[in-house]
Amino acid sequence: MSDIAARPAEADAFGKVEAHGIEAIPAADRHGRPRELAFLWAGAFVNYASLFTASLLTTYYGLGVWDGLVATALGTVAAAVILGLLSNTGPRSGLPQIAFTRSIFGLRGSYVGAALTLFLAIGWFAVDCVIAAQAGAQLFGGGNSAATFGLVLLIAAISVAVAIFGHQTIKVLETYGAVTFALLSAALFVFLAPQFHWTQGPAASGSDYAGAFVLGFMTCFALVASWYPFASDYSRYLPAASPTRAVTLWPVAGIAIPMVLLGLFGLLLPTIDAGLAQNQGVLAVITAHAPPWIAIPFFVFIIVGEIWANYLDVYTAGLVTLAMGIRLQRWQTALGCGLLGTALAAYAVLISDFHVAYEDFLILTYLWAPAWAAVVLLSFFVFEGKSRPGLALAAWLAGTATSLLFVNYANLFGNVFAGTRFFNDGLTSALHGADLSGVISVGVAAIVYWTGRRFSNA
């Protein structure tokens, strides 16, 4: 076992096309230690997307710097603990996350999760490409659509090329990329620190403040929750005897530490120039208030950081299409999913308000993943080995359906259907805009599944 943990297995080496698809990883090819998950997940969150997500709390939601940081930390840690728990299915089974859920939801039921996961992977690929392209456009003087479109194509091509190689290549590049971007972010933070308004308080007040805080919590929770169906994809090469606590906590550390640190940066950036942040985004704030010698390298590594994240998106998209029964080699499915993501990213550069579109994407991913995770975790940790696919699928759907009653649709569709009244406006108004859909979905799904299993065993 120590030999397996000490060296990369030949089937999964740096710079080599990965030999395995969605089948279980055999013991001979298992390698690594749980602490490596911290660097892998840090690579997914040490990027501009984390900074940008936190910046929404002070730019648009009305939170202050320090209460915004509390909302960021609570939302991130709560979601990361669930992701860490899901990661344990990897060493135990050797399977990607969606393939593992066949034993819980059944083959056909797992296709529902696979299709939604494919949506997440392609959607995140598009988001990451747009963010990277917008950062690249800053290097050429602003938001020229032709330059941005060209950068989208280049970034997508690089992302797909490396994702084709597979797990070990991704792990190495994620590690070094995360360290480099973190160092550059720290340098920019120190330079801009004298311009920050460290004590800026919340703009929201009274009952509206509670709604703003919940919205901030939800946004950061949703950012992490959108990775739930990816969790075991990057832990399945670990030896089967890997300790549960270590497999759980290292991803939590890898996600929470960069999210809190970059989150503080994102919360503070709009305090330099609130009007510019609201109208053009925090990238424009950096361009206007940092000298080129530090802004240019930072923009370059925003591009690099989003490419690191895209590796994970395309890699999982390839595994998911295999799990859906599409009989292509994994590199072919990765290429196909990358092309779809590129098409979405190319369209997204024409969206007038990317900030709103990004928030809508997070809300959409928030609607189903928490309930799905609740059923998977109960089945894995509490009812292991006793499959009830019909009940599992019903509990997941019940949680998701109930959550629809609590979605803030005015916030979700306000940019498309301005002024439209929705059926639950009274409820969301009473909650002062707070979106409790994710919390409700987890509770309902867990209660339905737990109760159903207990009655069936009585």
Greater confidence (369 vs 145) lies with: 369
pLDDT at residue 270 tops 90: yes
Per the CB < 8 A criterion, the answer to whether 92 and 310 are in contact is: no
pTM of the model: 0.87
How far apart, in whole angstroms, are the C-alpha atoms of residue 203 and residue 187?
Answer: 29
Instruction: State CA 150 to chain mean position distance.
Output: 25
Average pLDDT, the chain: 84
Per the CB < 8 A criterion, the answer to whether 157 and 133 are in contact is: no
Question: Quick count: other Cβ atoms within 10 Å of Cβ 328?
Answer: 14
Question: What are the E-state strand segments in 68-176?
Answer: none
Burial class (CB in 10 A: 0-12, 13-18, 19+), 39: buried
How far apart, in whole angstroms, are the C-alpha atoms of residue 26 and residue 80?
Answer: 28
Dihedral sign of CA atoms 306, 310, 313, 316 in order: negative
Q: pLDDT tens digits, residue range 66-106?
A: 999 999 999 999 999 999 999 999 999 889 888 899 999 99
Q: What single-letter amino acid sits at 452?
A: G
What does the DSSP assignment read for 269-335?
A: HHHH-HHHHHHH-HHHHHHHHS-HHHHHHHHHHHHHHHHHHHHHHHHHHHHHHHHTT--S-HHHHHH
What are the structural domains of the chain? 2-18+26-352 (1.10.4160.10), 367-458 (no CATH)
pLDDT at residue 7 tops 60: no
User: What tokens does 350 get?
Assistant: 């024409």
